[in-house]
């Protein structure tokens, strides 16, 4: 089993989760993070650290976000690994909780 970064990370991209990951399985894109499912050890340390509540265990991924399991796998193969916390985007509060952000994903 793995954890999955969902839609609310898009344009929010908090990196609090990165610092607590013992296996460095987070990867950073232009406006979102993803978790490499083959590297995640299902420790659950990242989930409570996400201010945007965008991280889910695979078996608790909402039905309307199932595509994010495959998306995390795909993008983790091409995006660079991230291991240190960074500042979130300046407009993070404007995007937190907004629906329909998948179309805004930058690859």
Determine the pLDDT at residue 43. 98
Reported as a single tens digit per residue, the pLDDT across 39-98 is: 999 999 999 999 999 999 999 999 999 999 999 999 999 999 999 999 999 999 999 999
- CATH 3.40.30.10 is right for the domain spanning 3-83: no
Q: What is the mean pLDDT of residues 1-5?
A: 96
Does the reported pTM lie above 0.85? yes
Name the residue with tokens 């978790």. 35
Domain boundaries, the chain: 3-83
- Rounded distance between C-alpha atoms, residue 14 and residue 46, angstroms: 11
Tell me what the mean pLDDT of segment 6-27 comes to: 98
CA dist., res. 105 & res. 64, Å (int):
16
């Amino acid at each position: 089993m793995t954890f999955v970064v969902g839609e609310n990370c898009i344009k929010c991209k908090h990196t609090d989760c990165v610092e607590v990951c013992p296996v460095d399985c987070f990867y950073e894109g232009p406006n979102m993070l993803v978790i490499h499912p083959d590297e995640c050890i299902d420790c659950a340390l990242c989930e409570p650290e996400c201010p945007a509540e965008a991280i889910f265990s695979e078996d608790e991924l909402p039905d309307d976000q199932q595509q994010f399991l495959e998306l995390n796998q795909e993008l983790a193969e091409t995006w660079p690994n991230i291991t240190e916390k960074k500042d979130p985007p300046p407009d993070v509060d404007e995007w937190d909780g907004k629906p329909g952000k998948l179309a805004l994903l930058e690859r």
